[in-house]
Amino acid sequence: MKLESYWNDGVARFAGATEPLTSNVDVAIVGGGFCGLSAALALARRGASVVLLEAGSRPAGEASGRNGGHVNNGLAVDYATLAARVGAQQARDWYHAYDAAVDTVKHVIDAEQIDCDFLRHGKLKLASRPGHLDALARSCDLLRRDGVDLDVELLDAAQTRAEVASERYHGALLYKKSGQMHMGRFALGLAQAAARHGARIYLDTPVQRLQRVGSGHRHRLHTPRGVFEADQVLLATGATRHGGYGTFGWIRRRIVPVGSFILATEPLGRERAQALLAGRRTYVTTANVHHYFRLSTDDRLIFGGRARFAGSNPQSDAKSGRLLRASMLEAFPQLADVGIDYCWGGLVDMTQDRLPHAGERDGLYYAMGFSGHGTQMSVHMGQCMARVMAGETTANPWRARQWPAIPGHVGPPWFLPAVGLYFRLKDKVS
């Protein structure tokens, strides 16, 4: 079992910029995940001089390239609950932002001719408990009644078993707009597209310090490669572990880095894979400690979840892999003879309300906090923030949102084990 992301294996390394930093640029982007790369592409296409700074050794090396390969529409929170909290119109707008985000991913892939196995087979949200199907039914009724999504469809237990060869699930809600893709090949293609349009992408280049120059948007950026100034700066760092609290402290007090872990089986063969998941969709369960899975184009099962409320490192990933395999076999005992080829983990940039945050603060633009639903929304928000930075403020669907600090969160998330225990207890009694 390789303790590395399946999405990176066999994918060519992106060659970052090597030329010296110039003293002035139009835009500096901090963070080379999907959001930063997408913004770099959009801004470079507009003719701006763009420098992207990535602390790691490859673009999309963190959450963007270490996820389950889903490109899903639908909110991370229950639509009916959100509508009751913020109002039907706001909930509708945010729901449609995720629809638009999937469309944005497809548009970028088509426009830049990125070969990444993009497929749009839909998503099944699987009821982990009988009572969870009632909640899915309420959401389905509300989405259809209010005209938010007329394509959603409720499946009963028998219909679900016809698609998912497991006795664990009691029905499902089908979201037909959702997709999937190969994350490593998309990351490489997106970085290559941004560079082709003129963006300079520097790898292994963390931002050590940010200084505001004057009262506008201009900032001075200190890096190991040198110091330069940018007229605008976009922070797309996610749950960064680089830089001091003096530089990114405001963000770190508002984002909790939560580990999510994934394994990839050995190839099952087309017939066995098709019998397991006939619709070849993306799948996510309704449990609080939930799982998500799909088939790869080479017929592996990619199975992930919050196996442990812990960070990601080789020891943690290996332990999580053993727990995930046990969970996989609870759902699919017919895979007991199947080997595991890959296991890896990554950090999700979780916010308290499980919704993204994007806007401007102290002259810095930011977009992050995608809370485990970032593949599509991060790409979309990169494009949106490029428009915002060009003066189109209404392009940000998450504008004017308050983002208070998480009480007691001023350093490493010491409270995660307690949170994990709480959610496991909720699952047991639900």
- Per-residue pLDDT of 338-393, as tens digits, reads 999 999 988 888 898 999 999 999 999 999 999 888 899 999 999 999 999 999 99
Residue 321: band (very low, low, confident or very high) from pLDDT cuts 50, 70, 90: confident
Residue 251: predicted pLDDT: 86
- The predicted pLDDT at position 205 comes to 96
- pLDDT value at residue 425: 53
Least confident among 74-78, 137-141, 264-268: 74-78
Looking at the predicted structure, is the pLDDT value of residue 417 above 60? no
Catalogue all structural domains in the chain, each as residue range(s) with its CATH number: 24-419 (3.50.50.60)
Q: Using the predicted structure, report yes or no on whether residue 324 has a pLDDT greater than 80.
A: yes
Residue 273, pLDDT > 60, answer yes
Own/partner long-range contacts of 205-212 (Cβ < 8 Å, ≥24 apart): 205/53, 205/54, 205/55, 206/53, 206/55, 206/242, 206/243, 207/30, 207/53, 207/55, 207/242, 207/243, 207/247, 208/243, 208/244, 208/247, 209/246, 209/247, 210/247, 210/364, 212/362, 212/363
How high is the mean pLDDT of the chain? 91
Between CA 204 and CA 254 the distance in angstroms is: 25
pLDDT, one tens digit per residue, over 122-140 is 999 999 999 999 999 999 9
- pLDDT recorded at residue 319: 83
Mean pLDDT in residue range 384-408: 94
- 332 has a pLDDT exceeding 80: yes
Report the alpha-carbon distance of residue 242 to residue 240 in Å, rounded. 5
| Per-residue confidence (pLDDT) for residue 2, from 0 to 100 | 92
Of the candidate ranges 60-64, 191-195, 205-209, the one whose mean pLDDT is the lowest: 60-64
413 pLDDT above the threshold of 70:
no
- Check pLDDT > 60 for residue 414: no
Calculate the dihedral angle through the C-alpha atoms of 338, 341, 346, 348, rounding to the nearest 10 degrees. Answer: -30
